[in-house]
Every structure is written in structure tokens, then in C-alpha cells.
């Protein structure tokens, strides 16, 4: 039993989350999106994104930022609110494959943020240039090969990628399991939040992925609470 528990955190889980299913009832997905926003705010996920953006932005250069797997658009709304006090020249886009997420995002956000229903690999069918691709709690949904493809896509298109994602950690797993059991009304959140931790990465695993992707200009930092900030800079 003890060995089984150790392996649960030593090796990454490949069990699919319920959120990755195609036909989720819209009311269930909406409840999930509302609660994810609360969790991100409570655990400092948005603050981590702001800190990463400050490292790659300057006040003079107009920037197109695309949030991939944008869900309910909450990340972009918080970036927009943060930027009103900072004054960067940001053009914000969200891209998600679920039309119900796009509909929710358009309902909850203002028209200054553009939402696109498509795969991120088709983003250039909608915009001519992407300076920053932002992936918040997106990469743990992917296989290692898919993450390597994502980084390769950004390198080929001279795009900086900012990744904000989870560390696989026993304390984080049990804490979020208890928190969501007590407070969540969403069966999606109850199931997927702890599973997301098991699908997360260790820093050494990120180093291996970046090496496999032939990334050269990058940084990996541990951030509270149990997250990693990975920035892979455009190379030219």
C-alpha cells in the first residue's frame, strides 16, 4: 500500500480528466469554470502569470498574447485588469476547442478580448502574429510528446511561451482533495482538481521535456502554491 502511494507521486498519471471529455453538459461546465476561477485566485495562480509577463514585456512594443485552453476566459480578464495599472500594449486573445467555453467567455468578458474556437495550432488562421503564447493549467492535460510539439510550434514561429502549471506533490494532492470535497459543488472539480496534481510535473521532468524540444533560452522556477513557471523565450 505504501509503495503504491509512493508510485502515485513518483510517476506521472496519464488518466484522462473528466474535463477532457467532449460532451459535458453546459451547466456542469459553467459551474466548473466558476470554481476554477476561485481556486486560481485563492492559490495565487494569476499573480504568477503577472510576474512572468513582467519579465518579457516592455512598454514600447505592441504584443499579441494568446491564452491557449482559455476555458472561461478568467485568466485573460485578470491579465486585462492587471494591465490597466501597468500600461503594456497588449492585444488579448483566447483559444479553446470547446465552443461552450467560448460562449461562456464571450458572455463573461468584454469585447476587447477576442475568443476563438479552434486548436491552438490553427491560431495563425485568425491572427497574423503571436508574440506570447500563454498556457495556464493547460500542459498537464497533454502528453510529454504534445508539450514538445507545443514548444516546437512556438520556436518555429518566434513566439515566447509562458507555462503556468502544477507540481506533482503529495501535500498539494491531499490539500486540494479535501478543499474541493468540502467546498466544491462541481463533480468535475472534485474529480479533476486532485487528478490534475497527479498529472503535473517535477522540475527534472520539465528539464527533460525542454531538452527534447531543443529549447535553449528558457527558465524554470518553483512558485507558490506548488506550481512551476516555465518561460521559453523566442530565439530571434
Whole-number pLDDT of residue 22:
86
Mean pLDDT across 127-154: 98
Handedness of CA 126, 109, 189, 2 (dihedral sign): positive
User: Is the separation of the CB atoms in 94 and 76 below 8 Å?
Assistant: yes
- Whether the per-residue pLDDT at 25 is higher than 90: the answer is yes
The answer to whether residues 127 and 66 touch, using CB atoms and an 8 Å cutoff, is yes
pLDDT for 6: 59
State the average pLDDT for the chain. Answer: 94
pLDDT tens-digit readout, 77-122: 999 999 999 999 999 999 999 999 999 999 999 999 999 999 999 9
Residue 106 makes CB contacts below 8 A (sequence gap 6+) with: 73, 115
Nearest Cα to Cα of residue 150 among 63, 210, 223: 210
Of the chain, the end-to-end C-alpha distance in Å amounts to 51
pLDDT tens-place string over residues 32-55: 999 999 888 888 789 999 999 999
Radius of gyration for the chain, computed over Cα atoms and rounded to the nearest angstrom: 17
Is residue 24 a contact partner of residue 18, using CB atoms and an 8 Å limit?
A: yes
Under the banding of pLDDT at 50, 70 and 90, the label for residue 5 is low
User: What CATH superfamily is the domain 25-232?
Assistant: Vaccinia Virus protein VP39 (3.40.50.150)
Express each pLDDT in 170-192 by its tens digit: 999 999 999 999 999 999 999 99
The per-residue pLDDT for 213 is 98
pLDDT value of residue 3: 46
Please state whether the predicted TM-score (pTM) of the whole model is above 0.85: yes
**Residues 213, 155 contacting (CB under 8 angstroms):** yes
Amino acid at each position: 500500500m505504501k509503495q503504491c502511494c509512493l508510485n502515485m507521486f513518483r510517476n506521472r498519471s496519464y488518466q484522462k480528466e473528466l474535463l477532457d471529455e467532449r460532451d459535458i453538459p453546459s451547466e456542469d461546465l459553467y459551474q466548473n469554470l466558476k470554481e476554477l476561477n476561485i481556486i486560481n485566485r485563492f492559490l495565487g495562480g494569476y499573480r504568477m502569470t503577472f510576474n512572468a509577463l513582467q519579465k518579457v514585456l516592455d512598454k514600447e512594443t505592441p504584443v499579441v498574447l494568446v491564452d491557449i485552453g482559455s476555458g472561461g476566459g478568467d485568466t485573460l480578464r485578470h491579465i486585462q485588469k492587471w494591465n490597466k495599472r501597468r500600461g503594456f500594449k497588449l492585444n488579448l486573445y483566447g483559444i479553446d476547442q470547446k465552443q461552450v467555453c467560448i460562449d461562456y467567455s464571450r458572455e463573461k468578458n468584454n469585447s476587447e478580448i477576442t475568443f476563438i474556437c479552434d486548436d491552438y495550432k490553427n491560431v495563425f488562421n485568425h491572427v497574423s502574429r503571436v508574440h506570447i503564447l500563454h498556457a495556464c493549467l493547460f500542459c498537464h492535460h497533454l502528453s510529454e510528446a504534445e508539450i514538445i510539439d507545443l514548444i516546437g510550434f512556438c520556436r518555429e514561429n518566434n513566439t515566447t511561451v509562458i507555462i503556468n502549471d502544477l507540481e506533482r506533490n503529495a501535500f498539494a494532492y491531499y490539500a486540494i482533495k479535501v478543499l474541493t470535497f468540502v467546498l466544491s459543488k462541481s463533480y468535475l472539480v472534485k474529480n479533476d482538481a486532485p487528478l490534475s496534481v497527479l498529472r503535473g510535473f517535477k522540475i527534472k521532468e520539465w528539464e527533460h521535456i525542454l531538452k527534447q524540444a531543443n529549447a535553449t533560452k528558457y527558465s524554470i522556477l518553483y512558485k507558490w502554491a506548488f506550481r512551476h513557471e516555465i518561460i521559453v523565450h523566442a530565439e530571434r
